Structure 1
Amino acid sequence: MNYEQRLISQAELRALPTDQDEQPSNQIEGYAVVFNEPSKDLGGFVEVIDPSALDGVDLSQVVMLDQHDYSKPLANVKAGTLQLDVDDKGLHFVATLDDSVSYANDALANVKNGNVDSMSFRFDVDDGGDAFSKDENGQVTRTIKQLKDLFEISPVTVPAYDGTQVDTRSYNDFMEQENKEKEQKKMPTKTIIENKEKSELRSFADFIRSRGEVRDGITTTGAAAVIPSEVITPVFQLKQSNANLAQYVTVKSVSNGSGHYPIAAKQTGVLATKEELAQIADADAKMFTDVPFDVQTRAAKIYLSNEVIDDSAVDIVSEVKNQLQKLVDNTDNKNIITLLTGKDFTSVKAANTDDLKKVYNVSLDPALDKMFVTNQSGFNYLDTLKDAEGRYLLQPNPAAASGFGLFGAPVVVVADSLLANNADGSFPMIAGDLGQSIALFRRNQATAQWQQFDAYSQGLYVVVRNDYRVIDKTAAVNISLAAAGK
């Protein structure tokens, strides 16, 4: 499935005014999608976006690029620098650009001075999500009723109306049916079966009715349809645990590859008594500790043949991008678990409910936002524990990822493959405040897509520049639950 690009000339793209302190604003706003506004001619038809086209569409992964260039990201919903809102007019956005990045500063300047005043967006349409119609003047209109994905939005200089980017198969089917109906009106016909539902006939319906005619490589033999083996069906996603531990730790965006992160030290001292006219004594306390960070670059790439992309009935490129993002999540999970189970944090053994309560009540500071992380085996063990009155220890907690809580704190369950059982057969468990325990220093994350013309293929890569550090060794405790079999 080819994704499409559309120009929005009514984007109302502009830079926001300066703030109250007269500091220059680094924000731009406008409309990335406008409802019920006809496009320019797209090759025999115009197009409008229905106000319901964005219903149910996941906008959490949308990025803003400069001129559709994936190597030049400007803002990102996931990073909190791109805000999207659907209103009566369309899809409104507010983007905060990093003016320390040269190309972002150039893009901001071009919007401010009016050199760039249009928007474009890249998308694909859900199956059955569009329809064609013709008015009395012969104007054919494509109405997009439901988008499947919205990939990115871009401030643009040149309209993105390249005919090769428009998926015109459904338009060709519509015109073919129109021509058939005209021919049928010219000759006497005998109705055998009356079809009361006059709707657009897609290519699949056409080849079923073709009785042996060739349609896009698909033929019929008698009444039985023969589907060639090269027709690719939607990608089957294997179910697997997709816990993202990065959402629980402290994520700190940094502008340099290395440096120090100041952490306010815990204060246990008191103020000294001051005699009249005596000099005030120095505070006997350390105010801050520094956590050094050194960002490392991690990356992966993959090549896809254009034959596979062209012949696939699904958006293979988007599927691969989703898989690359899973690699990023796996990288975060592995590094966070490695720190949490390392020697920086206290390790204790828990053989019963009282041992767990002692860790929760005594070992951890009362001010912490406590939670528990365990693996499948540990969760299964906890699920069998009861208190002295015969009540199960785990209680329903709708706010927890697992649906259960322990002592009122949420329980997060990860796969045994990520958090393995201990060497002695006991079950691993981490109790504490992950946000105060671990910091993820994120320099940037970039994805790019390019053409390999000599091999008729496309390349995709993802690059993350992160570092993972312990920031408070007292904010979490490693627990070894009772050994298996005991």
Structure 2
Amino acid sequence: MNEEEKEKRLTEEADLEAEEKQADSKEEETEEAGKTISGYALKFGEPSKDLGGFVEKIDKEALKDVDFSNCFLLYDHDYSKPLASVKSDTLKLEVDDTGLHFEATLNDTTYAKDVYENVSKGVVDSMSFGFELGIDSFDEDKETGEVTRSIKSVKNMPEISVVTMPAYDSSNVQVNKRSYEKFIEQRSNKKMNKALESTSDDQKGDNNMEKTLMNNEQTEIRNYEEYIRSKGEVRDVTTENAAAVVPEEVIGEVFDLKRNKYNLAQYATVKTVSNGQGKYPVATNQEAVLATKEELAEIEDVDADMFTSVNYAVATRAGKIALSNEIVEDSEVNIVQEVKEQLQQLVDNTDNKHIIDLLKTFPKQEVADLDGLKEIHNVTLDPALDKTVILNQSGFNHLDTLKDSDGRYILQPDVTAPSGKSLFGMPVVLVSNKLLANAENGAFPMIIGDIAQSVFVARRNQVTTQWDKFDYYSQGLAVVIRNDYETIDEEASVYIEFTPETTGGGSGE
């Protein structure tokens, strides 16, 4: 969904409370009591902060059609840090006369415990919620000029969040302002019409011409619609050589083709470096042991290399684009900002390609069944590694349809995983077939391992530049990155080509 359609709001007086539930029976006395928090995600009828020319209130009927069955409680709107969910019955939501009340039993995770402590001590006392707008309206106080937006209905509310003030002040301005701009335009038209009525006859002649020109486009569109519906019988429409002239509309937004957006660098070890080349020290004493020492004997040297180095040398990668000033001036949108966002996507694409290319150089294994995948997970890779699975679309689809002998799907739901699924407890990262293509023999490529232990990304600098090209009446934009991608530990990941047997592979038990 277009980001402009998603809105977020801050609820400062959220009545956040924290309590520790007592055990229900003696058998549970030894178990850790459940930690719960409760409060209001939103309150009806209370004015928001200034959202850029208007304040906002939510009507009591706004939530009546909302399906909360897939709603999550998050920390700072971060889906990688879920605290509770309606689906797991750890989040209970109730719409009352005050607003949307919630009660959540928090997960037993480190960040959930931190949230509980911050709420219980009053360090964090604000809530936020993300929603998709249904119907809204604007009203202006004739005396004060204050504009109030009323949220009449909400389509969807996928999450509510425990937030800190600094984390939300910036996102509070992420408001869909198209309806507000429409209201302002209508208000301006009303003021212009009122001014026309009070002008002199000479002025009316000039202003009426302006008003006529403004209405021409709407009139032309209405006439054209009548022309189409009547199959050409009604001809109150501009024609050329007996052909209808189709009115042209300029759309004031950029349509963004939906593509899976991700950056694999978030799973790697990324360090900002101060020089173009250098060494990244890595501790390697995992297998070393201490020697037995006799009384008064000299202590022996450790029989192992304590450290090794990952050598890096950054390379410069860059791209530019030229925009004519005619496009910049005539566009209904901020085309320069749109181009800058697309250039940032090129940076992410560059990270993804080099990280995948590097991971494909890791030790390769050919696997034909699920038992082979389990052996890599259980034996080949060190048990201390935080293992992740990277799959392309084809491999994901194949594994997502496999079941074990008891009829259970091999890929299990996992709200903490980027793809929403896990394999043998390992979170699955889904990438496109274009980035990680199938092998020539049709095998599905897979990467299993600890990406942070495997890949080192050295970032030297990233710059987005903009300049005028006066000779061409245009502007130039470019993005320049200086970075390198190196292997840390080649035993931390395995590159797999998975060719399923025609009989269906292992049991998955």
Asked whether 1:366 is paired with 2:365, we answer no
Per-residue deviation, 1:392: 2.0
What aligned pairs does 1:26-175 form with structure 2 within 5 A after superposition? 147=173, 174=187
Is the Cα contact below 8 Å between 2:55 and 2:147 reproduced in 1?
A: no
Is the Cα contact below 8 Å between 1:370 and 1:432 reproduced in 2?
A: yes
Partner of 1:255: 274
In structure 1, the residue corresponding to 2:445 is in which secondary structure? strand
In structure 2, the residue corresponding to 1:309 is in which secondary structure? helix
Is the Cα contact below 8 Å between 2:288 and 2:304 reproduced in 1?
A: yes
Is the Cα contact below 8 Å between 1:427 and 1:484 reproduced in 2?
A: no
Per-residue deviation, 1:133: 6.7
State how far apart, in whole Å, the 2-side matches of 1:312 and 1:129 are. 27
Gap change, CA 1:185 and 1:475, over 3 Å in 2: same
1:329 pairs, out of 348, 360, 370, with 348
State how far apart, in whole Å, the 2-side matches of 1:282 and 1:222 are. 88
Per-residue deviation, 1:453: 3.1
Listed one character per residue, the Cα deviations across residues 80-118 of structure 1 (whole Å, up to 9, x for unaligned) are xxxxxxx99xxxxxxxxxxxxxxxxxxxxxxxxxxxxxx
State how far apart, in whole Å, the 1-side matches of 2:296 and 2:56 are. 74
Asked whether 1:178 is paired with 2:197, we answer no
Is the Cα contact below 8 Å between 1:49 and 1:143 reproduced in 2?
A: no
Partner of 1:271: 290
Gap change, CA 1:186 and 1:422, over 3 Å in 2: closer
Per-residue deviation, 1:220: 2.7
Q: What root-mean-square deviation, in Å, do the aligned CA atoms of Structure 1 and Structure 2 show?
A: 4.1
In structure 2, the residue corresponding to 1:467 is in which secondary structure? strand
Is the Cα contact below 8 Å between 1:300 and 1:463 reproduced in 2?
A: yes
Per-residue deviation, 1:346: 1.6
- TM-score computed with the length of structure 1 as normaliser: 0.59
Gap change, CA 1:335 and 1:223, over 3 Å in 2: closer
Partner of 2:331: 312
Listed one character per residue, the Cα deviations across residues 12-36 of structure 1 (whole Å, up to 9, x for unaligned) are xxxxxxxxxxxxxxxxxxxxxxx76
Partner of 2:393: 376
Partner of 1:43: none
State how far apart, in whole Å, the 2-side matches of 1:143 and 1:59 are. 26
Gap change, CA 1:179 and 1:59, over 3 Å in 2: farther
Partner of 1:463: 480
Asked whether 1:475 is paired with 2:492, we answer yes
State how far apart, in whole Å, the 2-side matches of 1:368 and 1:480 are. 21
Range with greater deviation from structure 2 (232-241 or 328-337)? 232-241
State how far apart, in whole Å, the 2-side matches of 1:409 and 1:182 are. 68
Is the Cα contact below 8 Å between 2:52 and 2:173 reproduced in 1?
A: no
State how far apart, in whole Å, the 2-side matches of 1:175 and 1:414 are. 48
Is the Cα contact below 8 Å between 1:397 and 1:405 reproduced in 2?
A: yes
Per-residue deviation, 1:334: 0.4
In structure 2, the residue corresponding to 1:213 is in which secondary structure? helix
Asked whether 1:220 is paired with 2:219, we answer yes
- TM-score computed with the length of structure 2 as normaliser: 0.57
In structure 2, the residue corresponding to 1:220 is in which secondary structure? helix
Per-residue deviation, 1:283: 1.1
Per-residue deviation, 1:242: 2.1
Per-residue deviation, 1:439: 0.9
State how far apart, in whole Å, the 2-side matches of 1:442 and 1:368 are. 24
Gap change, CA 1:484 and 1:303, over 3 Å in 2: farther
State how far apart, in whole Å, the 2-side matches of 1:299 and 1:270 are. 48
Gap change, CA 1:149 and 1:458, over 3 Å in 2: farther
Is the Cα contact below 8 Å between 1:309 and 1:316 reproduced in 2?
A: yes
Gap change, CA 1:335 and 1:384, over 3 Å in 2: same
Is the Cα contact below 8 Å between 1:442 and 1:466 reproduced in 2?
A: yes
Partner of 2:229: none
Partner of 2:443: 426
Partner of 2:321: 302
What aligned pairs does 1:438-457 form with structure 2 within 5 A after superposition? 438-457=455-474
Per-residue deviation, 1:361: 0.4
Per-residue deviation, 1:371: 1.0
* Structure ranking higher in helix proportion: 2
Partner of 1:356: 373
Partner of 1:285: 304
State how far apart, in whole Å, the 2-side matches of 1:253 and 1:420 are. 30
Is the Cα contact below 8 Å between 1:48 and 1:143 reproduced in 2?
A: no
Partner of 1:414: 431
Listed one character per residue, the Cα deviations across residues 114-155 of structure 1 (whole Å, up to 9, x for unaligned) are xxxxxxxxxxxx9x999897976xx988999985589xxxxx
Partner of 1:29: none
Gap change, CA 1:305 and 1:217, over 3 Å in 2: farther
State how far apart, in whole Å, the 2-side matches of 1:129 and 1:454 are. 48
For 1:475, give the aligned amino acid: A
State how far apart, in whole Å, the 2-side matches of 1:321 and 1:130 are. 33
State how far apart, in whole Å, the 1-side matches of 2:412 and 2:139 are. 54
List structure 1 segments (4+ residues) > 3 angstroms apart after TM superposition: 47-53, 128-136, 139-150, 168-177, 182-187, 209-212, 216-219, 221-230, 483-486
The answer for unaligned runs of 5 or more in structure 2 is 1-48, 58-75, 79-123, 126-132, 151-171, 201-207, 225-244, 504-509
Q: Number of paired residues? A: 333
State how far apart, in whole Å, the 2-side matches of 1:385 and 1:133 are. 59
1:240 pairs, out of 249, 259, 264, with 259
The answer for unaligned runs of 5 or more in structure 1 is 1-34, 37-46, 61-86, 89-125, 151-167, 188-208
In structure 2, the residue corresponding to 1:454 is in which secondary structure? helix
Q: Calculate percent identity across the aligned residue pairs.
A: 48
Asked whether 1:404 is paired with 2:421, we answer yes
State how far apart, in whole Å, the 1-side matches of 2:266 and 2:209 are. 54
In structure 2, the residue corresponding to 1:320 is in which secondary structure? helix
State how far apart, in whole Å, the 1-side matches of 2:141 and 2:246 are. 32
Partner of 1:338: 357
For 2:190, give the aligned amino acid: Q
